[in-house]
Amino acid sequence: MSNHFTGLSLGPPLGDQRLDLCDLYAFTAPGDPDRTVIILNANPNADALHPDAVYRLNIDNDGDYLTDIAFSWVFSPPAADGSQTYDVFMATGEESRSPEATGTKIVSAADVSFGPTANVVTSGDYLVAAGSRSDAFFFDFDGIKNLFDTSGNRNFTAPHLGGKSPWTGVDSNTTANVFSMAVELPTAELGPDPVLHIWGRCSVRRDGELVHADRAGHPSTSSFFNTDDTKEEYNASEPANDRERWTDQFVHLLGHTGGYSPEEAAAALDDEGMLPDVLTFDPSRPAAYPNGRTFTEDVIDIRVAFLTRNEAPPTGLSPHTDTLDRFPYLGDPHPAQG
């Protein structure tokens, strides 16, 4: 859940776990170099998603950071037994830039899978799924607290390095589940020219209008670079405006975390491709963050090394071993914890 708990207060967007986007993945389908997989995870409780929300994958394929293709998931109200269905819409061009779930309905009233078996829907050349899955994100939560906490106050702008490693070596996510929305399709239909810029968006209807509650691009960016005062604005903002609006804040933060000068911080942000906050994927190259993202990269290692200018030691954690070599790729959900 690398995007989990946006902002310093470690609370879900708008106080609702169902609106919390957790991770975004993009990679070439195993065994088929002509197909691309994109996965958006939400809701660390892995239960029913919000029936008044739109969960969206935005894809820019021409480098202007405006949506060219959008996949939108919308969910029914949960039934008395907890079951839920969903529709998926695909929109292109100008229509894809509407916050509403518009375009062609490619999935209609499909069952969300909350049990161990994923409900994979085939729609033309697309594979689609939605439901509870094992969370592939691995991280040392107590180590994060050791690195960034002091006297119980979370302070991501002053990492405490010292001589002792902050990491505990314990993966906090070994039995965690997440609600996953996945799509696999021919790469040619995405039209990369030559790369894709991908970001997740969750919007919820309030007083008749959709309010942007959360977004996900680079792993951990929103969690580490935001403050309580800015997180709602950040979550509602658009990638095309990121560099103008957020560069100064990110530069300021890097001065605290890694002793970067303003010039060094600005250059480092460009080198890392941190702004706009989108996941860049060139399907002609092997997927491994920052080119797309698979389940094996230690993105906390990568982000903390960047923040601290490589002063923090590696976490030493290993990827989860329950992921699948077939769609929807995330492992079967863990049994509920008593």
Report which of 325, 331, 332 is spatially closest to residue 31, judged by C-alpha positions: 325
Q: Are 291 and 211 in contact (CB under 8 A)?
A: no
Report domain extents, the chain. 13-307
Using a 10 angstrom Cβ sphere, with 0-12 exposed, 13-18 middle and 19 or more buried, the burial of residue 30 is middle
The predicted structure's pLDDT at residue 248: 97
The predicted structure's pLDDT at residue 155: 54
**CA dist list (Å): 283 to 33, 182, 189, 192, 286:** 8, 17, 12, 8, 7
Buried b (16+ CB within 10 A) or exposed e, 111-143: ebbbeeebbebebeebbbbbbbbbbbbbbbeeb
Residues 6+ apart with CB under 8 A from 226: 6, 7, 8, 234
DSSP H or E segment with residue 268: helix 262-272
Total-model pTM: 0.95
DSSP H or E segment with residue 71: strand 69-75
The predicted structure's pLDDT at residue 6: 47
Report which of 116, 126, 37, 53 is spatially closest to residue 86, judged by C-alpha positions: 53
pLDDT in tens, the chain (338 residues): 444 444 445 678 999 999 999 999 999 999 999 999 999 999 999 999 999 999 999 999 999 999 999 999 999 999 999 999 999 999 999 999 999 999 999 999 999 999 999 999 999 999 999 999 999 999 999 998 888 765 444 556 667 777 788 899 999 999 999 999 999 999 999 999 999 999 999 999 999 899 999 999 999 898 889 888 898 999 999 999 999 999 999 999 999 899 999 999 999 999 999 999 999 999 999 999 999 999 999 999 999 999 999 988 999 999 999 999 999 999 999 998 65
Residues 6+ apart with CB under 8 A from 188: 34
Question: Which residue stretches of 73-177 are H helix?
Answer: 141-148
The predicted structure's pLDDT at residue 324: 97
DSSP H or E segment with residue 221: helix 221-225
Angstrom distance (rounded) from CA 304 to CA 254: 11
> What does the block give as tokens for 20?
């919390």
Angstrom distance (rounded) from CA 163 to CA 305: 16
Q: How many helices (H) and strands (E) does the chain have?
A: 6, 14
> What does the block give as tokens for 116?
């161990």
The predicted structure's pLDDT at residue 157: 64
